[in-house]
Structure 1
């Protein structure tokens, strides 16, 4: 019995280190750190991720960048179905075969969409996904999450593995040194928190950075203000972090005087910096600026 078979979860045989290397060799994939190709090869880690995601049997899970299928095989027994969005045509074609080989009883629960997660649209999903669970490429993690939360209102929960520093920024609150654009924009959609570290040793090849899990739960829409207006405001507020808001928002509002008038009208001190405001304060500013 192989390591992966002996450590299999219910209904599926998870991939171990030897399985991951064998699949990569079969597909002539030579993962590089430069391209961010780091495959999870530890069955215990993917089990922990699925457990931490708190999935229900009715959930339709969206997985972004399934790669060789390590996490996919752990997700399939835990939910109604899994939709894997994979940009690489070779990996997208191999994934259903891997599932058929290692979890034949669960093959019908998998749908693979060959697409860029940054551009995938709601009409590509036959059934709206309810949960996002993914090991995200480090360089696009935040844009992918924000795009999917905007495009798929059906997504109620998420658990994503990202670079540890990105996890800090996504889950940060006002006043933190790492609080910034990702923190506020994700807070527009959901309540987020760090959900634990992920050791480097569970990846192949071993990355140069630490990883962590971020969990989030969508909340009710906070305002009817135009999201594009709000997000442009947030971008402006953090573009020059050292500036007080009256100066940082001068270009966005038309002048420093106009920015100060809007801030006062929104009940925000013009002398504070963006990192001191929660999403609610940014919403008030955006609301008073909108006709």
Structure 2
């Protein structure tokens, strides 16, 4: 069949099946071949790769992935797209579609069943309303990942790769960079989609680190400290941490900051991930 990437073919398929775009599911279908190629190239997909795609839509990106990868599993939540995908992906024997909410899937079980537990690449045009939960699920659950190349809202991508001391640097920056090395692949205008979203998009590659960027005694405390530090950005670390749900008083926070050799009047946005790691260990020590 003809490739879906053209606006004409996309519209014909949508009209043929009477498909209605769902705003609640964040459905915007890619129609720009240049962007499609940048996604594939950005992920360096080869015939050795197993790929998970989240939200294939009508299968535009899926077709291109199937040409390049060893095997592709597309996870689609919308049942109304299944008959369309059965047609558009019919010629490819190395593609299977799983009708499920990826946030409720056992990812380890899926990868074991479909790929024998081999490391995967996650490539997707993610629905913007669940971008962060989906990305963090793959990272926090420690699934065997090579990299993730995802199309997301520009502002979210900017936060993921932000450095300390910048306006975009926050809890999401620390969380993503704890696990990955982020790199912007390309910016994407609204005109690259049907229907056009109201925001600019970005394709970002998250290359999984061999081990987390910093080694800490308790990961849970690290992320509690990070959330507390950025939860009240205008507050100093001393005040932000002592008024949070960390379960430590002001004197304990002072003690932890002293142990970490971090000035108590600094704000969370100025700390590197390494400093957050040192501070988290100090907090764990004063709590024990």
TM-score after normalising by structure 1 = 0.88
Instruction: State how far apart, in whole Å, the 2-side matches of 1:149 and 1:233 are.
Output: 19
Is contact 1:162-1:213 (8 Å) kept? yes
1:235 alignment counterpart: 227
Instruction: State how far apart, in whole Å, the 1-side matches of 2:183 and 2:258 are.
Output: 31
In structure 2, list runs of 5 or more residues that go unmatched.
none
1:15 paired residue among 5, 14, 23 = 5
Is contact 1:170-1:214 (8 Å) kept? no
Q: 1:289: Cα distance to partner?
A: 2.7
State the SS of the aligned residue for 1:24. helix
Instruction: State how far apart, in whole Å, the 1-side matches of 2:17 and 2:263 are.
Output: 58
Instruction: State how far apart, in whole Å, the 2-side matches of 1:77 and 1:227 are.
Output: 40
1:108 alignment counterpart: 93
Identify if the C-alpha distance between structure 1 residues 93 and 279 changes in structure 2 by more than 3 Å, giving closer, same or farther. Answer: farther
Is contact 1:253-1:259 (8 Å) kept? no
Instruction: State how far apart, in whole Å, the 2-side matches of 1:229 and 1:93 are.
Output: 46
1:259 paired residue among 250, 253, 270 = 253
1:225 alignment counterpart: 217
Q: 1:67: Cα distance to partner?
A: 0.8
State the SS of the aligned residue for 2:167. coil
Instruction: State how far apart, in whole Å, the 2-side matches of 1:235 and 1:92 are.
Output: 39
Q: 1:275: Cα distance to partner?
A: 0.8
TM-score after normalising by structure 2 = 0.89
Aligned-residue CA RMSD in angstroms? 1.9
In structure 1, list runs of 5 or more residues that go unmatched.
6-12
Residue by residue, what CA displacement relative to the aligned partner does 1:91-135 show, whole Å, maximum 9, x if unpaired? 2453233111xxx2xx22112222212222211222245211111
Q: How many residues align?
A: 276
Q: Residues 20-39 of structure 1 correspond to what in structure 2 (within 5 A)?
A: 20-33=10-23, 35-39=25-29
Instruction: State how far apart, in whole Å, the 2-side matches of 1:16 and 1:153 are.
Output: 34
